[in-house]
Amino acid sequence: MNQELIRKQQDLTARLNRYRHEYYNLNAPSISDAVYDRLFEELQDLERQTGIQMANSPTSTVGYPAISKLEKTNHPIPLLSLDKEKNIVEVCRFMGEHQVMFMLKLDGLTIKLTYEGGELLEAATRGDGEVGEIVTHNTRAIGGIPAHIRYEDRLVITGEAFIRPSDFEQLKASLVDNNGETYKNGRNLAAGSVRLLDAKTCMERRLMFMPFTVLEGFENLPRKSERLKELSALGFTPCKYLVTKRTLTQAEAEDGIKQLQQYARDKDIPIDGIVVTYNDVAFAKSCGRTGHHYKDGLAFKFEDDLFETKLQMIEWTPGRTGEIAPVAVFAPVEIDGCEVSRASLHNLSFIEDLELMPGNRILVSKRNLIIPHVEDNLDRGGFVLESAYPHRCPCCGEPTRIHETRGRNENGEERTIKTLFCDNAGCETRKLKQFVHFVGKKAMNIEGLSEATLEKLIGRGWIHSYLDVYRLDQHKDELVRMDGFGERSWQRLWSAIQQSRNTTFERYVIAMDIPMIGNTASGVLCQVFHGNLDEFRDAVYAGYDFRQLPDFGDTLHNNIHEWFSKEENFCIWEELQMMMKIQKPVQPVAENNTQDNPFAGKTIVVTGKVEPYTRDEMNSLIASLGAIAGSSVTRKTHYLVCGEKAGSKLSKARELGIPVLEPQEFFRMAGVA
């Protein structure tokens, strides 16, 4: 047993160290802070049980050794982390009768500033607490750092460089991290920016600095809060804090925390907790330290939304493409007042990565407060892929197959993704789901054909193919005698079926269920092929390259060609059309326009405000010119129409050498001015 615990401890130490490298050096973490913190606690537990602590354990070291081209500097007074606490009762116990400061726990990157003779000598990051990186060159690019101060003695302060949440929202649209992905949060962007070699780029990141501790200087003042307050007069903006005047009740402590949280929201300051620290400098010093933190303070972290539970089983259900989707079934947990006991596991690779087996303790969250998600497995080890999935389809019993595709995982990294398939075209569940899609709102839109009704109709053998839906009247007599069905239901259903014959290019294409062709893609196809299904089909057989269309890539291109290459698909495509009346596209292509305007067949992207038009109106105008309205600037874009307050699309177009048109010029060329 002990051996097993030690193995687990070593695995977890190695994993957490990998996460630290991603977080501190690459500024691109692959797991959330909440999950990191839970694994950290798990490791602390294991260390207590085994009585062993590795020299490189994250529980006894700070940050991570920095690897970068930046020069290094020593911290004679080590810069440590903070002990974490989620329980307010523990926070009150920690405070005891001491005077404490409640402070914002700023969420950015810690910087230490050293001044001598009133001049800024050096700015450095925390690094591993003993050795940090010199980032003095970037101080001019960070708001809130005075270069000269009216204080002649040596002054050393620590504080946080951060990006305001509202600034981050704007910046993230145009920036990517080390992996070429958009930044997940402002802390990663702030950390990446402070450590840039080039101050000019750093300047664009709108960083702010707020000091929270005076390490050296103002030695005559006995309290931390007094020393911090002095910094205001020198031109700094100290971190917001409250000082206790007497011992607080739990309710008062909670109230203080709420006040600070509200303050941070109002002032647009990013925080990930509240710091509680003894105010008396001499007493604080006497508290000592561990390898990880000083004992004079702690970080109260807001209750995260991770829930520990036990995985009971993995349920597998075939869908309409034949893909068999895994769902985790776990012991119910209450999240935001709802009981949750199931979460999608996406695919086989997701299960493999988490090494999930029934009986494991797992961490579950609700992402964006809606979708339950399995974040991590606390009991890894002993996983065997072969026993993780059913070798026969749970619906039809035919052998399953593992399908491998190149794709991206949750963090956007490219990798092989394994999915489980049932290839049996007659597999009942699969067929049922296909029909559900076929009659759905975006496809043929037949009201009254619920999944339950479809299941009955398929079960009685009345519908095998889509065509059978339109021949249901052959079974009318039996149908009206079916449970819960009657003459009136039949009339309603039959009239809905008849109405659905009057349909559009887009609906028809969606109903055919070509993988990944939904609303947007079918809309583009409708425009390009003038709402004409035959024109589209002919183009496919003539080898049309769909990659030239906006937002179409290799996958969509291949999906279309693959779909049409199957004879049974082609038959349905042709036969079903005979039962349909395809309406002309809503935006009729202005024939005379297409001939003599230069935009026919071109892809046009609009950015910024083009008064007095809304974006939708601009897109309709583009469509009426026989052109395609793209949503992002790529190499396939022909023109960018650039209105007021243009953003990153403009720089992208310039980078790619794509012609940029002023709105007036665009209207003139289009002949609508």
Which spans in 381-504 are helix H? 428-439, 451-459, 466-469, 476-480, 487-500
**Catalytic-role residue among 105, 240, 433, 636:** 105
* Residue among 185 and 587 whose Cβ is closer to ligand NAD: 185
The owner of tokens 């992402």 is 367
Residue 228, both tokens: 């911090």
Q: Is 164 helix (H, G, I), strand (E, B) or coil?
A: coil
DSSP conformation class of 240: P
Q: Which does 393 bind (CB under 5 to 8 A by kind): ligand NAD, Zn ion, none?
A: Zn ion
Least distance in angstroms from the C-beta of 346 to ligand NAD: 20
Judged by beta carbon distances under 5 to 8 A according to partner kind, the member of ligand NAD, Zn ion, none in contact with residue 102 is: none
CB of 331 to ligand NAD, least distance (A): 26
How far apart are CB 393 and Zn ion at their closest, in Å?
Answer: 3
Please state, in angstroms and rounded to a whole number, the distance separating the CA atoms of residues 279 and 417.
Answer: 53
Binding site for Zn ion (CB under 5 A): 393, 395-396, 422, 424, 427
With CB under 5 to 8 Å by kind, the binding choice for 395 among ligand NAD, Zn ion, none is Zn ion
Q: Bridge partners of 214?
A: 157
Instruction: Tell me if residue 52 falls in helix, strand or coil.
Output: coil
Decide whether 134 or 396 has the Cβ nearer to ligand NAD.
134
Is the distance from CB of 144 to CB of 106 less than 8 angstroms? no
DSSP code of 398?
A: P
**Closest separation between CB of residue 143 and ligand NAD, Å?**
17
List binding-site positions for Zn(2+). 393, 396, 422, 427
Residue type, 516: M
Q: Which of ligand NAD, Zn ion, none does residue 427 bind to, with CB < 5 to 8 Å depending on kind?
A: Zn ion
Which does residue 145 touch among Zn ion, ligand NAD, none (CB within 5 to 8 A, set by kind)? none
Complex with ligand NAD: residue 55 or 384, whichever CB lies closer = 55
CA dist 195 and 72 (Å) reads: 12
Q: What is the DSSP string of 339-363?
A: EEEEEE--SHHHHHHHT--TT-EEE
104 vs 618 by CB, closer to ligand NAD = 104
Question: Chain-centre distance of CA 639, in angstroms?
Answer: 30
Q: Tell me whether residue 103 or residue 670 sits nearer to ligand NAD (CB atom).
A: 103
Q: Is 105 a catalytic residue?
A: yes
DSSP 413-448: -EEEEEEEEE--TT-HHHHHHHHHHHHSTTTT--TT
For residues 545-562, one letter each, b for 16 or more C-beta atoms within 10 angstroms of the residue's C-beta and e for the rest, the string is ebeebbebeeebbebbbe
Q: Where does this chain bind ligand NAD (CB under 6 A)?
A: 19-20, 22-23, 29, 31-33, 36-37, 63, 81-82, 103-106, 110, 160, 212, 239, 275, 299
CB of 99 to ligand NAD, least distance (A): 16
424 binds, among ligand NAD, Zn ion, none (CB under 5 to 8 A by kind): Zn ion
Would you say 297 or 322 has its CB closer to ligand NAD? 297
| Between 424 and 504, CB nearer to Zn ion | 424
Query: Choosing among ligand NAD, Zn ion, none, which partner's interface includes residue 299 (Cβ < 5 to 8 Å by kind)?
Result: ligand NAD
What are the φ and ψ backbone dihedral angles of 270, each rounded to 5 degrees? Answer: -80, 125
Q: Identify which of 584, 567, 583 has the alpha carbon closest to the alpha carbon of residue 575.
A: 567
- Closest separation between CB of residue 190 and ligand NAD, Å? 12
422 binds, among ligand NAD, Zn ion, none (CB under 5 to 8 A by kind): Zn ion
Residues at the binding site are: 33-37, 81-82, 126, 160, 301, 393, 396, 422, 427
Other Cβ atoms within 10 Å of 260 Cβ, number: 23
Q: How far apart are CA 186 and CA 164, in angstroms?
A: 8
Give whichever of 58 and 318 is closer to Zn ion, judged by the CB atom: 318
278: helix, strand or coil: strand
Pull the structure tokens for residue 569: 């698909």
| Alpha carbon separation from 474 to 444, 466, 471, 478, 498 (Å, rounded) | 20, 15, 6, 9, 14
Q: What angle do CA 285, 292, 269 make, to 5 degrees?
A: 85
Cα 402 to Cα 329, 386, 412, 433, distances in angstroms: 22, 11, 22, 20
Q: Which residues are catalytic?
A: 105
